[in-house]
Amino acid sequence: MNPNLESDYLGLRLAHPVVASAGPWTRDREGFRRLADAGVSAIVMHSLFEEEIVQAGRLTDHYLEYGADSFGESLSYLPELEDYGTGPERYLRLLADAKSAVSIPVIGSLNGTTAGGWRRFARRIEEAGADALELNLYHVPTDPSTSGAELEERYLDAVRTVADSVSIPLAVKLSPFLTAPAHMAGRLAEAGAAGLVLFNRFYQPDIDLDALSVVPKLVLSRSEELRLPLRWTAILSGRVGADLAISSGVHAADDVLKGVLAGASVTMITSELLRSGPGCIAPMLDGVRHWMSEREYESVAQMRGSLSHRHNESPEAFERANYLATLHSWRPEPDLGHLP
């Protein structure tokens, strides 16, 4: 019997729980098409960044001012703004184009930290045809005078602003570095998040010793990184009024299965798509089907959350007790000799 892989996420009925997360594959129409042909069940488009929106706003202001000063008829320039080639305009055009190129759901993405100019762009992303919107709250809190509580209020404000502006469902991509992620997850759901994406992967800069400078360094993820979102998915599953999506460390069928067992509605992939190309999707789905058939699971819905904190026979496996057990589980490599 072929197991039913259908998965509901943000009110969308998806063919299975493997979604392409935001990344470089969606930079053009062809990338969307290749992802869809490879069999992902939905695509999250790369982000439109708050900085792009702010910059485009400045350019537009400048343009209008220049027009007004020179010709006193700035309004006559407005149609040309459409072709101005700014980041946001390009983004919206590509989104609309991608929607006509693929038949699977496309989720737009906004990336920033404040409510800022997002309201307008959230609406325009909806108008361009996005089936849902992901809000990536990527912030590095370097200011010692800003408290966690203040930051959380800022995030909630951004989520409320965007949720009130659109009628498509909203997902929020979260940082794992929160003092009380479970509490914040509940508040985000109350603020209008229909889905939570666990987690944002923070890229740490490195120091170049030759150039004596700080340099950006992007390292693709590995399956081991799945365990952080896996744990929090299991803890939050069935406890917050939002669907859960795992992002970080999904590379193979086993990762997808673990994510669903922990309670994820979908698992998302970027690094594996960059490392192996879209051809990685088919074997991943075959592996999921094979494992489910062997264990006689009829559907992903039946599996979902069965090893979550709530349903696990040993919920302490996700708690502090797990820390002690983990430390005690370490054994020296046989050829490294005995412990000091």
Residues binding ligand FMN (CB under 6 A): 21-24, 46-47, 109, 111, 136, 173, 201, 218, 221, 247-250, 269-271, 274
Q: Position of tokens 């992939």?
A: 269
Nearer to ligand FMN, 67 or 262 (CB): 262
Nearer to ligand FMN, 199 or 297 (CB): 199
Residue type, 256: V
Least distance (Å) from ligand FMN to the CB of residue 297? 24
Q: Is 39 left (phi over 0), alpha (psi -120 to 50) or beta?
A: left
Nearer to ligand FMN, 248 or 265 (CB): 248
Q: Which one-letter DSSP state was computed for residue 318? A: G
Least distance (Å) from ligand FMN to the CB of residue 227? 12
Least distance (Å) from ligand FMN to the CB of residue 90? 14
Nearer to ligand FMN, 67 or 266 (CB): 266
For residues 112 and 124, what is the distance between their CA atoms, to the nearest angstrom? Answer: 17
Helices assigned H by DSSP within the chain: 29-38, 50-71, 78-81, 87-101, 118-127, 148-165, 181-191, 227-236, 253-262, 271-276, 281-294, 300-303, 321-328
Nearer to ligand FMN, 195 or 249 (CB): 249
Least distance (Å) from ligand FMN to the CB of residue 268? 6
* DSSP strand pairing (48-49 vs 43-44): unpaired
Nearer to ligand FMN, 67 or 267 (CB): 267
What are the b/e assignments for 120-145, b being 16+ CB within 10 Å?
Answer: ebbbbbbebbbbbbbbbbbbeeeeee
Least distance (Å) from ligand FMN to the CB of residue 67? 32
Least distance (Å) from ligand FMN to the CB of residue 22? 3
Least distance (Å) from ligand FMN to the CB of residue 15? 19
Nearer to ligand FMN, 22 or 128 (CB): 22
* 177 prior amide bond cis, ω within 30: no
Query: What string of H, E and C letters represents the secondary structure of 242-283?
Result: CEEEEECCCCCHHHHHHHHHHCCCEEEECHHHHHHCHHHHHH
